[in-house]
Structure 1
Amino acid sequence: MKFCIALLAAAAALAQQQQPVPPHIGFLYPAGGRQGTTFEVTLGGQNVAGAYEVYLSGSGVQATVTKYARPLTPAQANTLREQMQKLVEQKTASTKPPAPNTFQVIWTPADEAALADIRAKLMDFQRRPSSPAIAETVVLQVTIGAQAEPGERELRLGVTAGITNPILLQVGQLPEFTREVSKVPPALNAVNGATPQVRAVAPPHADPPVDINLPTVINGQMMPAAVDRYRFHATKGQHLVAEACARELIPYISDAVPGWFQATLTLRDSAGKQVAYADHFYFHPDPVIHYDVPADGDYTLEIHDSIYRGREDFVYRISVGELPYLTSIFPLGGRAGARTSVAVQGWNLPAASLAETGKAKGLTPVAVQSGPFLSNRLPFAFDTLPEAVAKEPIGKREKAQKVKLPLTVNGRIAKPGEWDFFRFDGKAGEEIVAEVFARRLDSPLDSVLILTDAAGKQLAANDDFEDKGAGLLTHQADSRICFKLPAKGSYYLQVGDTQRQSGPDYAYRLRISHPEPDFDLRVVPSSLNVRGGATVPVTVYALRHDGFTGEISLKLKDAPQGLVMSGGTIPAGQDKIRLTLTAPAGPLGLPAPVQLEGHASIEGHEVHRLAVPAEDMMQAFAYHHLVAEKDWMVRVIGQGAPRAPVRPASEKAVKLSAGGSVPFQVIVAPRLAGQVQLELNDPPAGIKIEKVTTAPEGLAVTLTADPAKAKPGLRGNLILDVYLERPDAKTAVRRRQLWGTLPAIPFEVVGTLVSSR
């Protein structure tokens, strides 16, 4: 009896482990607040039923769930319409004298309230978001402590189905103005941001301006065809900054082109004349305006989408006032362990320089304090190589600055069309790497890098090099060359801007060295939900550097007891692996922070790297980006059986011969015999299930490897989904239901058939 109960519990866990859609937050509004305040936040998402808890990174911010609203189904809306019709008839009848031999129809305050409630629900139904990803609503109460550090927090929501993806909540220092929560009008909901239809249905329009006092942060949601306007008084001599945050809040929207809310800012004087405009800031989509006020008066700031799209997740925050703002720093980095003097450029800055000291290789944010206000942050890179500054003049080849490898050079392209030249000596067969770090460090430079020999012959050149770790960049504009020198002699590197742009902000760091093989890791998704005793797939990406191709072994670090990883090896030469995590049978309660660590042997040294959690975000229906997050969170929910009723018979790797077949066994509990079906989940090209037959303890699965696609030496993991097929209790028709996933099964394609039994 106990076995049957355990088996049923395990079956329930498998049946429920995969939700149709993972819990998802599409937007927060407002997306931030001021230190020392309590305010209401509306969250739009999907599969967030049963919201009960809010999880925030960092400290100083707390939040509670106060309300959840699921959108009405069409059937529910029809039922409400029928109820409303009856109430309307009752109200009308109450105003007339009763017919003979009948009672007077009574209309009470409770009836009036019921009618108003139904009308409000039907209005919400008409104005419901057209995107399912933001159709459900949760209301939060957020409290930010007076001493909370300004900056970003990651917010996740605990719901019945687990935990959601993280989304940004900003902690600010300024007073805040927040418009009422908006919903797309029914007339525009069908097109929801498609430019031609929106303009045909409702031409762009601007409501009367809202009066605000500076400095402030403005919170709003951009609706289709709308222009939001804000009026304030400014005095002569003020240096105003208006900084919009839109794409920064929600980096990518999967079903919108170009893939985010593209805000534009316009500043007008009291006569309505445009005095400033911005639709971006350098390569950043979010616009920033700087304006020196020439005369006292009222000014109006306008914001709208560049092509007048809009919907509920087009959320923005605008910081406006005489605020400190960093436009650039120089140098963009320094040597770890050393003190670096950093020159700063921008507006309303209290000083022209600051000092930075870093203990280890990596990035640190740089900001300046002006009075009570903290500026925006820019990244500063610490490295272990010797550092140098590009000397002037080096704009000609014959005046090239001589450098000795290894070295990181800090330079700037100061004039249009300018090139910086560097000369170094090399030997035949010596491999060198020259890599520019500019765009990845918030510099607008669109670099180009050229390597020539002593005679001026071009040996290598590069414009754009893709770094998959830079998930927020849609234009990968940094350059990289890896080249083996053909002979002993002098060689020249030249750096320029491919668009012939220039200025004090166009800084770069140029690494010139021998290859430094290394790797970084990204683990997706950053929020993982798994039923007790069940198994879920996880993807780990290897970002390999400077020719490192070796094997990377993975292991969990600080993981909850009973959480087991299967298939934790990234084979040599491969850039990603799909592995699985199997949860303990019992629930863990609160989400658990987990770390994943990669180990590899590189040039005789053992190298350890922690995986950075990330979200695989889709941009504009097609493009995918790995966007780094702060924490990797795992939530185990429900109670499972101590032993899975369907599981691989062995943890050993399956060896397939190219062109041959090999069986392996899956154990199936007797109660499920004849009901289980197996399918490969996103298998490697050329590998498939040839047949599944009954075996003494379950099933024998025969795999085949197509020699044209699956070559000897191919390694990885096989992930199998478990389906249950059984007759429906009412109709007797056999129905197929996804139960769950088996732990990852390592495999290798070999040249000759080797049985794994």
Structure 2
Amino acid sequence: MKTQYPARDFRAFGISLLVFSIAVAGFASTAHAQQRRDRGPHLAYAYPAGCERGMSCEIVLGGQFLKNADDFFISGDGVTIEILDWYKPMARGEFTQLNRKLREAEVKLAAEMKSEGGKSPSKAEVAVYAGVTETQLHEMEIYRKRDRDPKRQPNEQLDETVRIKMTVDADARLGKRELRLIDGASISNPLWLHIGRWREVRESPPSEIASVVDKIDDVVETLPTVINGQVMPGETDRFAFFARKGMKLVIQADAREVIPYLADAVPGWFQAVLRLTDKDGHEVSYSDSFQFRQDPVMYFEVPEDGRYIIEIRDSLYRGREDFVYRLTVGEIPFVTGIFPLGAPVDSEQTIQVRGWNLSNNRLAVTTMSRNRHRPVMQCRMVQSGGVGIQFPLQIGYWPEVFDQEPNNTHKDAQTITVPRTINGRINYPGDEDVYKIEGGGRLVAEVAARRLGSPLDSMLRLTDADGKEVAFNDDYEDLTQALQTHHADSHLSTTLAGGREHYLHISNAQYDGGSEFTYRISLQKPQPSYELRVTPSNIIAKPGQSVPIDVFAMRQDGFAGDIEVSLVDPPDGFRIDGNVIPGSVDHVAMTLSVAASMKVNRNKDPIQLEMQGQPRGGRRGPGLIRPAVPAENMMQAFIWHHLVPVENWNVVIDGKKGARMPFDYGASATSVTLNLSEKAWIPIIPDSKNFDPEIIFVDVADPISGITAKVVKTRTGNYAIELVVDNESIAEDKQFKPGDRGNLLLSVYKEVTAKPTEDNPAPTPRRNSYGYLPAMPFEISKNR
């Protein structure tokens, strides 16, 4: 059941969170890239956010631009979906218009009935007289109720809903599934739906509080249970259950696990808080997080038989439709720590698992072979009743050792040669492990702890034999870890003087410790490398069309070379243009081109493409081939952007033919050099003799400030795209300097203005878009 709290002003607290929150650096250019996409369906939340295996359930999808969605895509097998209906609440303009219509009708009808000696008209009679339907009256009442709510903030990004029916096979794979809606012209961002093994229920609406209490016995009989709910402004949701003495309950809230980032909320997600009370209202347990994770978890050993009440709310008493949660209650297995956090490639290792309600705490793991680049593998361990638990395991490429206690001082330091990977623990609050490093030269020491689930907030110090600090690092921002907002793993790069002793110290910045505070330290010479991300993760393209994509390089240990990307065993008809990321940049816009001969799949089944990168020139080979991981660009708290990996890179071929591009690049147009003081031309070939450059226009997309384009006829009678560089804009924007390289994305459209008439003396130009040309590589000339 729900309790309403009075509205509170958290603006000052919200500002402090915004100022002091630590987040992944934003990809501002991605926001520009998204602006060039056409508007398509956007999904904000799903409620409930999952379904029990072997069952059917109705789910409400909330978002924007959902009206024309008539198809969907969901990852994996064993799930079917039926779209039931679409709904959007009445807008202010429509309400105002109908309200005025009713008032005017009431005045007129009252006058008519009075002249006939009748009584004042009823509301129903006024509505009939005004031509306002019962459905419209009902929607007007909903509008009034929403408008009167002082805590409700209108948000058009949440207004529309699509109701679907989801049916899950009894043997469907458990875990997350990516769901997207398709409207024929575009495909939405993904939402994560969860397929669970436990019985699932929904919170009852506030008007049905009594029914929640009435169903307590049902919940007890079927523990574990997953409760699906939404928190609205000022609400606290409460659920009662009966527990017996000796039960070892895990109460786990999934909020960020459901929706990792909220674009317009501080701190950028639903910050759930759990509170457990006994039947008399006395608090017996509380959690606002678990270790470093934002979602709270409780472990509660029941002291006596009785009724207990679990409460869930937002830490700031915020709430709205997308504050969705899944609350699991029961004697379920839960992992609190593993050791070691990794193992060498092509090896066998026994992993020790710590946690609650575990019937099995050791797992023998055989790691992958050396010729596969996968830095982290997912391990699964089966507990009693067939329940599986999962955890990540890092794969290393160097010899590995375990820390040997005591090793807290220079005198007791454990001697380590390079390269080496160390597996260790910060055993107690204030503990510090010290390692003596032999040899000199360049050294990179990198901690993997937080990214592998350890609560350790590492600090690395390098000292000489006299204890003088040579190098230090606390937090190192790793852009590949898109769901981490506190990058607590350390990364230290330095040069060791030969012939001298050096000592590496690792400790916890928060001064706590314990068996779960595990770590891995990789000691090696710099290994320049990179990882790749590609957005958008979902594309709808027409045959013959070029679609913009964005490819990001996360460079590591000084890797500054060009990266050439390519499709991996693609179906016929796909091509990447502008497929090089220059060494001077971390992001470039490219295009995915689809052949005009590409056949359309009538079922709109997505084609799953794969992309990979490899250094261009110089060092090559399988050791530096990296997959381009499809990602979704998510905004957090109005300002930060995160590239959150998703499962597949999907392309849907749209059967509706688009306008044919009026020209193609000439055979010699493979790249263009831009001089900061001169014009440049890209030769083009018109597709017909009736080509008219007066009505064909070209825009430089992305946008790139200071560069404009237009179609011109050359002195030789041919045609070209003329590029003009505004030196002042380039210099002011500081986007480019001589020698810089990248890609031009050029959009083409036709604009025709009808002849003026007496009725329309100034007609508005009519624009017809042709889409994008293939990405054109450019270089800023070094000559001025």
C-alpha deviations, 1:516-552, integer Å up to 9, x for none?
2222110011112334433322110112222222211
Write the distance in 1 (CA, Å) between the matches of 2:517 and 2:110. 73
CA-based RMSD? 3.5
Q: Which residue of 2 aligns with 1:13?
A: none
AA at the equivalent of 1:590: D
Please point out which of 719, 723, 746 is paired with 1:702: 723
Worse-superposed segment, 53-62 or 726-735: 726-735
In the TM superposition, what is the alpha-carbon distance from 1:451 to its structure 2 partner? 1.5
Write the distance in 2 (CA, Å) between the matches of 1:169 and 1:230. 23
Write the distance in 2 (CA, Å) between the matches of 1:88 and 1:411. 80
Q: Which residue of 1 aligns with 2:641?
A: 624
In the TM superposition, what is the alpha-carbon distance from 1:511 to its structure 2 partner? 0.3
Q: Which residue of 2 aligns with 1:735?
A: 765
Q: Which residue of 1 aligns with 2:632?
A: 615
In the TM superposition, what is the alpha-carbon distance from 1:123 to its structure 2 partner? 4.1
Write the distance in 2 (CA, Å) between the matches of 1:565 and 1:703. 26
Q: Which residue of 2 aligns with 1:605?
A: 621
Please point out which of 436, 442, 459 is paired with 1:431: 442
C-alpha deviations, 1:14-61, integer Å up to 9, x for none?
xxx976423211111111111111111110122223322232212222
Write the distance in 2 (CA, Å) between the matches of 1:86 and 1:705. 58
Write the distance in 2 (CA, Å) between the matches of 1:432 and 1:417. 26
In the TM superposition, what is the alpha-carbon distance from 1:413 to its structure 2 partner? 0.7
Write the distance in 1 (CA, Å) between the matches of 2:519 and 2:89. 50
In the TM superposition, what is the alpha-carbon distance from 1:76 to its structure 2 partner? 4.3
Q: Which residue of 2 aligns with 1:7?
A: none
Q: 1:206 to 1:541 in 2, by over 3 A?
A: farther
Q: Which residue of 2 aligns with 1:750?
A: 781
Write the distance in 1 (CA, Å) between the matches of 2:172 and 2:103. 52
Q: Which residue of 2 aligns with 1:592?
A: 607
Worse-superposed segment, 391-400 or 357-366: 357-366
C-alpha deviations, 1:485-537, integer Å up to 9, x for none?
23233321111111212111111110001222222110011112334433322
Q: Which residue of 2 aligns with 1:14?
A: none
1:391 aligns with 2:404: yes
Q: Which residue of 2 aligns with 1:136?
A: 160
Write the distance in 2 (CA, Å) between the matches of 1:464 and 1:258. 20
1:292 aligns with 2:288: no
Q: Which residue of 1 aligns with 2:3?
A: none
Q: 1:63 to 1:207 in 2, by over 3 A?
A: closer
TM-score normalised over the length of structure 1: 0.86
In the TM superposition, what is the alpha-carbon distance from 1:167 to its structure 2 partner? 1.2
Q: 1:441 to 1:728 in 2, by over 3 A?
A: farther
Residues 297-336 of structure 1 mapped to structure 2, 5 A cutoff = 297-336=306-345
Q: 1:88 to 1:510 in 2, by over 3 A?
A: farther
In the TM superposition, what is the alpha-carbon distance from 1:711 to its structure 2 partner? 2.8
Which consecutive unaligned segments of at least 5 residues does structure 2 have? 1-34, 148-152
Residues 34-45 of structure 1 mapped to structure 2, 5 A cutoff = 34-45=52-63
1:480 aligns with 2:491: yes
In the TM superposition, what is the alpha-carbon distance from 1:362 to its structure 2 partner? 2.7
Q: Which residue of 1 aligns with 2:707?
A: 688
Q: 1:489 to 1:604 in 2, by over 3 A?
A: farther
SS of aligned partner of 1:440: helix
C-alpha deviations, 1:320-354, integer Å up to 9, x for none?
01111111111111112222111111111113322
Q: 1:602 to 1:474 in 2, by over 3 A?
A: farther
1:637 aligns with 2:646: no
SS of aligned partner of 2:43: strand
Please point out which of 348, 351, 355 is paired with 2:357: 348
AA at the equivalent of 1:713: G
> Percent of pairs identical after alignment?
37
> 1:385 touches 1:407 (CA, 8 Å); kept in 2?
yes
AA at the equivalent of 1:379: P
C-alpha deviations, 1:690-742, integer Å up to 9, x for none?
87644444454133374855333211111123344332685643437472332
In the TM superposition, what is the alpha-carbon distance from 1:671 to its structure 2 partner? 4.8
1:540 aligns with 2:551: yes
Q: 1:668 to 1:311 in 2, by over 3 A?
A: farther
Write the distance in 2 (CA, Å) between the matches of 1:581 and 1:420. 50
Write the distance in 2 (CA, Å) between the matches of 1:77 and 1:531. 39
Q: 1:308 to 1:603 in 2, by over 3 A?
A: same
Q: Which residue of 2 aligns with 1:23?
A: 41
Write the distance in 1 (CA, Å) between the matches of 2:754 and 2:349. 72
C-alpha deviations, 1:204-238, integer Å up to 9, x for none?
x9998673333200000111111110000011111
Write the distance in 2 (CA, Å) between the matches of 1:72 and 1:727. 36
1:577 aligns with 2:588: yes
C-alpha deviations, 1:267-316, integer Å up to 9, x for none?
00010011111111111111111111111110000011111111111100
Q: Which residue of 2 aligns with 1:664?
A: 682
Q: 1:78 to 1:465 in 2, by over 3 A?
A: same
C-alpha deviations, 1:578-617, integer Å up to 9, x for none?
1112333364532211111112256453532221000111
Q: Which residue of 1 aligns with 2:19?
A: none
Please point out which of 177, 181, 184 is paired with 1:153: 177
Residues 644-663 of structure 1 mapped to structure 2, 5 A cutoff = 644-649=661-666, 650-663=668-681
> 2:41 touches 2:69 (CA, 8 Å); kept in 1?
no
Q: Which residue of 2 aligns with 1:46?
A: 64
Q: 1:90 to 1:736 in 2, by over 3 A?
A: closer
Write the distance in 1 (CA, Å) between the matches of 2:239 and 2:105. 42
AA at the equivalent of 1:512: L
Write the distance in 2 (CA, Å) between the matches of 1:641 and 1:162. 13
Q: 1:550 to 1:307 in 2, by over 3 A?
A: same
Write the distance in 2 (CA, Å) between the matches of 1:339 and 1:46. 50
Q: Which residue of 1 aligns with 2:509?
A: 498
> 1:324 touches 1:368 (CA, 8 Å); kept in 2?
no
Q: Which residue of 2 aligns with 1:33?
A: 51
SS of aligned partner of 2:76: coil
Write the distance in 1 (CA, Å) between the matches of 2:637 and 2:307. 39
> 1:331 touches 1:342 (CA, 8 Å); kept in 2?
yes
Worse-superposed segment, 646-655 or 285-294: 646-655
In the TM superposition, what is the alpha-carbon distance from 1:73 to its structure 2 partner? 4.2
Write the distance in 1 (CA, Å) between the matches of 2:108 and 2:301. 64
Write the distance in 1 (CA, Å) between the matches of 2:607 and 2:672. 32
Q: Which residue of 2 aligns with 1:678?
A: 698
> 1:431 touches 1:514 (CA, 8 Å); kept in 2?
yes
Q: Which residue of 2 aligns with 1:378?
A: 391
TM-score normalised over the length of structure 2: 0.83
In the TM superposition, what is the alpha-carbon distance from 1:441 to its structure 2 partner? 0.6
C-alpha deviations, 1:218-267, integer Å up to 9, x for none?
00011111111000001111111110001111111111111111111110
In the TM superposition, what is the alpha-carbon distance from 1:647 to its structure 2 partner? 4.1
Q: 1:690 to 1:232 in 2, by over 3 A?
A: closer
Write the distance in 2 (CA, Å) between the matches of 1:546 and 1:520. 12
> 1:27 touches 1:250 (CA, 8 Å); kept in 2?
yes
Q: 1:700 to 1:642 in 2, by over 3 A?
A: closer
Write the distance in 2 (CA, Å) between the matches of 1:153 and 1:355. 28
Write the distance in 2 (CA, Å) between the matches of 1:691 and 1:87. 56
Q: 1:562 to 1:394 in 2, by over 3 A?
A: same
Write the distance in 2 (CA, Å) between the matches of 1:492 and 1:333. 23
Write the distance in 2 (CA, Å) between the matches of 1:69 and 1:635. 26
In the TM superposition, what is the alpha-carbon distance from 1:87 to its structure 2 partner? 11
Count of residue pairs brought into register by the alignment: 709
Write the distance in 2 (CA, Å) between the matches of 1:529 and 1:448. 46
Worse-superposed segment, 435-444 or 564-573: 564-573
Q: Which residue of 1 aligns with 2:26?
A: none
Worse-superposed segment, 549-558 or 251-260: 549-558
In the TM superposition, what is the alpha-carbon distance from 1:182 to its structure 2 partner? 9.2
In the TM superposition, what is the alpha-carbon distance from 1:431 to its structure 2 partner? 1.4
Worse-superposed segment, 41-50 or 125-134: 125-134
Q: Which residue of 2 aligns with 1:199?
A: none
AA at the equivalent of 1:688: I
